[in-house]
Structure formats: structure tokens, C-alpha cells
Amino acid sequence: MISSLATQAPLPLAYYRNSPSIYKTKPSTYFPRFFSVKTLSFPLFLNPSTNTSTSKAKIVFNLQGFLGPISSPAIRPLCSKSGEVGGMASSLQNQDSISYLTQREAAEIDETLMGPLGFSVDQLMELAGLSVATSIAEVYKPSEYNRILAICGPGNNGGDGLVAARHLYHFGYKLFVCYPKRTAKPLYSGLVTQLESLLIPFLSVDELPVDLSKDFDILVDAMFGFSFHGSPRPPFDNLIQKLVHLHSCGQMQHKSPVIVSVDIPSGWHVEEGDVGGQGIKPHMLVSLTAPKLCAKKFSGPHHFLGGRFVPPTIAEKYKLQLPQYPGTSMCVRIGKPPQIDISALRENYISPEFLEEQAEADPMDQFYKWFEDAVVAGLKEPNAMALSTTGKDRKPDGSTMGPLEAPAPSGILEKIWELFKKCLNFLKNFAFPSTKYEIRAFNLSSSRMVLLKGVNKDGFVWYTNYESRKARELSENPHAALLFYWDGLNRQIHGL
């Protein structure tokens, strides 16, 4: 469904210099100014799973203006990042440079933490469970992976799973817990009471569905940790086989639950890994304190390290090489993230219908309204916008640029303007390569993210540098395009 709306309002696009180092848009004093809302369009999407009609709206503004003459021949550069929106950088930890613990070393470190270093079991369990929960939330968002079953064993690994379940509940997931062999110690009884107070269901082994893939999106394997010896006994042997069976079935199904193992995939040898290759194949492994030797055999897509509590004395004694945790995070990824099938990335947009009659009569009023909504919603940098410019031969929409209808400057302004154009021609001829491909690229549209610094009835304001590419292109071709995109609201505004 496409609707149209046309109206007229003044909105120029021009540049002026207001200080030795900052430049911004301003109405030209002698160049024409045109503005019109070209179309208001919003295609309707149908979500087949919910049969819900959804919409995305796009307001298209037509902006025409002219680059005003420079008030001074002096041109000074800005900082290279001034006004630009920087991207986020993330460092990946090379797993070959990370230390791996033997079973004996892992036990000794736990004893030291809970002995001379003064940690209690419940402290370490709380930190470990929080690390598991944040690792899961880092990859599997509750909007897509909402139903979680935590399968908890009788020892500390099971306690980590109970703590993780509590945190995941508060993160917005729907939790279920299978805790078949409960430990009578007060610590574990308290964890159960905390989950029961949140009305989290506890399922017995008999109450579990035969096919776990139909009822759960994530299965947390918190049955056995690094201190486990021997072969799993009932009912855990059967539970492990259920998870193993899911892996083989998942290869034939379009979507099966993901398995997250806490510290050690249950049933694996702590040092040798999945001996025989018939064990659990988790999609995510959350190592605690430091990875155990079996983690080298982990081949799933997501390996995280949690438990941000290792003191320097322990790291020095065992010569631990551990990654730096980013910011205040309780987990850090080890190794490279999996390769992503770009064609499979798809969001189902569910938002209220937006009809033509709901739009403001004045397009600027509509912009103010949506911009305020983006600010109130707490979206990151709601004033970020994509600015597209192009060379002298074309507009940003790809059409050929027609003759400019504007009176030519006169007097000293004309001389300054001519000098500036000669400088630009010199830069293009001598400072830039001149192969046929690069000449063509010079005249194509270019885009970058900038920050809106002001808006009023006269236009949009942003800062730039006269020596930047966008300034050079705007000096030749005053046609530009702006795009605001507010992901959290499923809205965008596009101005030409």
C-alpha cells in the first residue's frame, strides 16, 4: 500500500562559516530556496506467523539549495572525526593465546579462592551464574529465543545453572528448570526458593516432553562440571542422550533448540573432551575462571569466558593468560565469531499502523514529532543521519543535474567564488588520481554518517570541514540527501 502527500514549505540548504574551525548550514542570502514533501509512503508487510499487519513509514523531502560563497578565502581543517559518528570496535581473543587448565589445576584454583583468598561458594556461584546469563543474552535475544530450560545437576555446576536461570528471568526470558537430584544444603535450597518466588516452573524428568525441540528455544546444560568423574548415572544419562539426540535431529530440522553448556559439556572428559565423539555438541560453551583443556575440542560457534574474579596472585601462580573483559561486561568471547549467512538475517517488524491521515500537515512538524519520540525512547544518537552528496554531474538520486536557477554573485563575492572554483579544479586535476574509473567514482554519490546539530524552519544544521569530500562535492553540486533511521521505532525519514 503506497500513499502520497504533497505540500510546500521553505527549507534551504547552504553553508556558512561562523568560526575559524566550524562550518554549518545556513540559509543563503541570495540563492533560491525550495522545499517540498514529495511523497509519504509506507508499504504494508504481513507477518505470516502472527497474521499481523505491520508497516514502515518513509517521509521523503525534496531539498534544493545552493552553496553560498565563502566569506573568507582562508580554509582551515577541522579534526578528522569532527561531526562524524564513530563505529564500534571489538577485539577478538585468539584462543591459541589463552591458558587452558587441567582438572587438577582447576580444583586447586577453586580451593585457593575459597581458602586463603576468602571467597565463599555462594559468591563464586553468583558470579558464575551471572556470567552464563550475560553470555546467553549476548548472542540469543529473548525476542527470538525466549523459552529456556535449565537442566541442573546436584553439584556446583547445577548451582551455577540455578543462578543463571534467575538472572535470565530478569533479562526477559521465560524459564523452566529441571532439577532432578536436589541438594539439601541451605545454599541450594535458597536458590530453589528464589526461583519459586518468581513462579518459575520446576519440571521433573517425567514431565519433560519427549521432543524438547517443540517447547524450548535454549537448553542450558548445567549438569556436571570439571570435578565430575566416571559415567553419568540415571536420570542424567538419559537427559544427556536427549541433548545428543537433539543434535542429530537438528541437522534435519529447520530450527532446533540451541544447547549452552556451563564450563564443561556434560559427559565430556575434562581434559580429553568428547571421547568417542558421541557426546553433547553444544552451540555455546561458557568457560568459567579459565577454559579447561577439553574446551580446545569445542567446535561450536560461540565460546565465552565468564567469572570475572581471578585475582592477580592466581594468574601469576598458574601463569594464566586470560583475555581482557570489555567495559563492565561479565563475559568475553574467545576466538572468532561464526560466519554469518547474510541472506538469512531478517527481522519481523511489528509496529502500529501508520496511515496518511495520521501524518502531520506540515512535514517539519512530522519530523519534530518523530525526532522527539526517538529522544524520549532513549535511542542511541537519535540525531545521527546519513548525508549523501555527489559530484557536479549528478544528483544523489542518480538523475542528471539541470541548470541552476540563481543569480550570479557580483563584486568581491564573485572574485572569491571564482578563486575557490579554481582551487577545486586544481585539487581534482593534481591531488586526485585521474584514471577513468576514479573519475567516474568522483562523480558518484558518496554517503557518511554525521550528527544533526540543529533544525528550524530554515533548514537542517550539521558541522563539516571545507577540505572534506562532502564539502568539495557540495561546492560543485548543492543537491544532497539526508536519511534518519530510528531502529527501535521502525521509522526512517529520507530527505532529498
Which parts are annotated binding residues for K(+)?
A: 157, 221, 266
Give the DSSP per-residue string, 2-66.
-----EE------EEE-SSS-EEE---SSS--EEEEEEEE--EEEETTTTEEEE-EEEEEEEE--
Other beta carbons less than 10 A from residue 420's beta carbon: 17
Do 314 and 91 contact (CB within 8 A), yes or no? Answer: no
CA dihedral (35, 39, 42, 43) positive or negative: negative
Cα-based distances in Å from 358 to 185, 260, 318: 61, 46, 66
Residue 193 cell numbers, joined: 526458593
**In angstroms, rounded to a whole number, what is the distance separating the alpha carbons of residues 130 and 456?**
47
**In angstroms, rounded to a whole number, what is the distance separating the alpha carbons of residues 186 and 175?**
22
Of 156, 152, 154, 151, give the one whose Cα is nearest residue 107. 156
Which pairing describes strands 52-55 and 44-47: parallel, antiparallel, or unpaired?
Answer: antiparallel
Contacts of 411 (CB under 8 A, 6+ apart): none
The residues pairing with 25 across neighbouring beta strands, listed in sequence order, are 15
Contacts of 19 (CB under 8 A, 6+ apart): none
Known binding residues: 156-160, 221, 225-231, 263, 266
AA identity, residue 477: N
Strand arrangement, sheet containing 57-64: 7-8, 34-41, 57-64, 491-495, 481-486, 384-389, 446-456, 459-464, 23-25, 15-17
Known binding residues for (6S)-NADPHX: 156-160, 225-231, 263
Do 317 and 280 contact (CB within 8 A), yes or no? Answer: no
**In angstroms, rounded to a whole number, what is the distance separating the alpha carbons of residues 58 and 489?**
12
